[in-house]
Chain A
Amino acid sequence: MIVAAVLGAGPTLYNNLAFLTTLAIYILLAQGVNIVYGFTGYLPFGFVGFFGAGIYGSSLAIVYWHVGGYTAIGLGALTSVVAAVVLSPLLRLSGAYFALATLAASQALYFIVANESWTFGESGMSLPLIFSPTALYVVAVVAVTVTLIVVFYVRDSHFGLSLRAIRSDAVSAAMAGVNVVRTRTIAWLVSAAIAGVAGALWALMTSAFYAETPFDLTISVYAIVFALFGGVRTVVGPVVGTVVLYSLYQYIGISNPQYFELIYGLLIVVLVLFLPGGLSSLVGGRGDRPAWWNRLVRHRAAPESAPEVAP
């Protein structure tokens, strides 16, 4: 609710709709990563493949079938889900093998799209303007809101509990009566659908592009790092991570890309070393907080209570 309100008020705070819409798209991607990585432990390095599938699913539907904007978004999500169904056998793999296999799959999709004439691989895609920037931003905010509700559900429901159990120990989860394959596949498809919606929004916003941009691996990396920076397995974490890091990118990354890469790299190191649970772990349950933070908070609290005890 708060996030939706803040996003809704976004344009009055900072009037750059392209930036805000892209921010919303990255929030969607980070939440997609959150569901598949945070809750199931599968790191989808090729997550950008679902984004690209959503982009091309929606774009081709617009070009060939002249569908409306909402239908295009739906078809974008559907295309990603179909891709996820095709790739669902990859869930048999684990760890680095899974990450690399999804990466390979996303690159395979890229090469198909970039080389076929019916996907306008040579000439590049160009779409008619369907939504005004303001209307598109409103649609993006709605998509983010719906996604956050989905993540809320995943976090608090028995379904989410099953996912976390599978992440902890798949065999024991099966022994607890959890249908491991089905539960994991649903999470996989949901996260693909979210990436597909993000892709469709991006297509509607950008309207003219070549295949290199939608399938750029940096998008995967950003979505993963944004989610981790904010904290996976939470609802707000990936949102905060995306807002902080993407804003940083907006201010530094475009004018001085080399400094951004440097800061970005340092942030990743800091994250891994000191904040493995992400920003949200600082305010989470005591057991989730990093030890150094607990010490810091205790030290700061101590002087305030000291004078009361002294007299």
Chain B
Amino acid sequence: MSEQTSLRASGLSTGYGALRVLWDVDLTVAQGRTTVLLGANGAGKSTLLKALIGLRPLWSGTLTYEDESIAGWSPERRIAAGMSYVSETGIFAGLSVEDNLRVVATGLRTATLRQRLERTYEQFPLLASRRRESAGALSGGQRKLLSLAKGLVRDPRLLLMDEPSAGLSPLAVGEMVDTLAQVVAQGGVTLLLAEQNARVLELADVVTIIGGGRVTFAGPVEEFRSTADVAEQFFGLARPAPSTGAPEET
């Protein structure tokens, strides 16, 4: 295989205070291959993304990005190196839509910034029409679009996105999936999406399942689909007590 590794975590564990959330997680994200992290609420998906971007310290394990060890790097440094992180609620409600995008451009030259903003508005016409409005006035779906647009302003090579579908109506989830598909089609950025909505699997090249803080499955999406047992296990099909839809606190 000639494909290059974007991000690789091995034996990664972390947690909050005395509470351990992740146990020996191995994760490989290949460049250009969309990876979907599946897991129920509380499985540790968000914590894993936070550990990857540097918001949670590693308790053990190694972490490399483009073959460099980044375990000791600050989030700012990881972002400067081409990583990007879109949290579940990643907008500045008190700022206008345009200012939300401009904040992300810290360190970019004015001309570059203008060109990036134009590109963003072409890609997200809805944001263009509301650029002067307060981001707090946007609907849930529009906020998600804005947070994704923010995540793309700096031309990242690796985008980590936490729950693109969270809080969206089924229709809006479809639109979000289409938007992400466009982002993938444009190339240049590898996506790592933490999700629990099966719709997002349409985008997946690789699936990693996290359950109870451990990786329980990792492989190409075809393998995931054909491994009926895994799929059933995850989506709770053919089980008397479905467990995935239950909203637990993360």
Residue pair B79, A287 in contact (C-beta under 8 Å)? no
CB-CB contacts below 8 Å: A154-177 with B: 158, 161-162, 164-165, 167-169, 171-177
Task: Count B interface residues, CB 8 Å.
Answer: 28
Contacts of A158 in B (CB 8 A): 102, 105-106
Chain A interface size range: 10 to 19
Residue pair A165, B87 in contact (C-beta under 8 Å)? no
B150 interface contact, C-beta 8 A: yes
Q: Please, how many angstroms separate the alpha-carbon atoms of A179 and B107 in the complex? A: 11
Stretch at the interface among B37-45, B89-97, B175-183: B89-97
Residue pair B94, A168 in contact (C-beta under 8 Å)? yes
Residue pair B95, A177 in contact (C-beta under 8 Å)? no
Q: Please, how many angstroms separate the alpha-carbon atoms of A161 and B80 in the complex? A: 19
Residue pair A167, B103 in contact (C-beta under 8 Å)? no
Smallest CB separation, B234 vs chain A (Å): 29
Contacts of B86 in A (CB 8 A): 175
B118 interface contact, C-beta 8 A: no
Q: Please, how many angstroms separate the alpha-carbon atoms of A177 and B91 in the complex? A: 14
Nearest residue (CB) in B for A178 is: B106
B67 interface contact, C-beta 8 A: no
Considering residues A167, A171, A172, A178, which has the most beta carbons from chain B within 10 angstroms of its beta carbon? A172
Q: Taking A179-B76, A287-B134 as contacts, is the C-beta distance between A167 and B94 under 8 angstroms?
A: yes
Residue pair A173, B53 in contact (C-beta under 8 Å)? no
Q: Please, how many angstroms separate the alpha-carbon atoms of A161 and B103 in the complex? A: 6
Smallest CB separation, B134 vs chain A (Å): 5
Residue pair A175, B133 in contact (C-beta under 8 Å)? no
Smallest CB separation, A214 vs chain B (Å): 35
Residue pair B95, A165 in contact (C-beta under 8 Å)? yes
Partner of B87, one of A162, A167, A171: A171
Residue pair B99, A161 in contact (C-beta under 8 Å)? yes
Partner of A174, one of B75, B95, B134, B150: B75
Contacts of A172 in B (CB 8 A): 87, 90-92
Partner of A176, one of B94, B104, B134, B137: B104
Partner of B76, one of A167, A169, A177: A177
Contacts of B133 in A (CB 8 A): 287
Residue pair A164, B106 in contact (C-beta under 8 Å)? no
CB-CB contacts below 8 Å: A114-167 with B: 158, 161-162, 164-165, 167
B65 interface contact, C-beta 8 A: no
Q: Taking A164-B94, A167-B94, A168-B92 as contacts, is the C-beta distance between A175 and B53 under 8 angstroms?
A: yes
Contacts of A171 in B (CB 8 A): 55, 87
Contacts of B84 in A (CB 8 A): 175
Q: Please, how many angstroms separate the alpha-carbon atoms of A165 and B53 in the complex? A: 19
Q: Please, how many angstroms separate the alpha-carbon atoms of A169 and B103 in the complex? A: 12
Q: Could you jot down 13 A-B contacts, CB within 8 Å?
A: A158-B105, A161-B95, A164-B95, A165-B103, A174-B55, A174-B75, A175-B87, A176-B103, A176-B150, A177-B76, A177-B79, A178-B106, A287-B137
In the A-B complex, the 6 residue pairs with the closest CB atoms: A168-B92, A165-B103, A176-B104, A168-B94, A177-B106, A177-B79
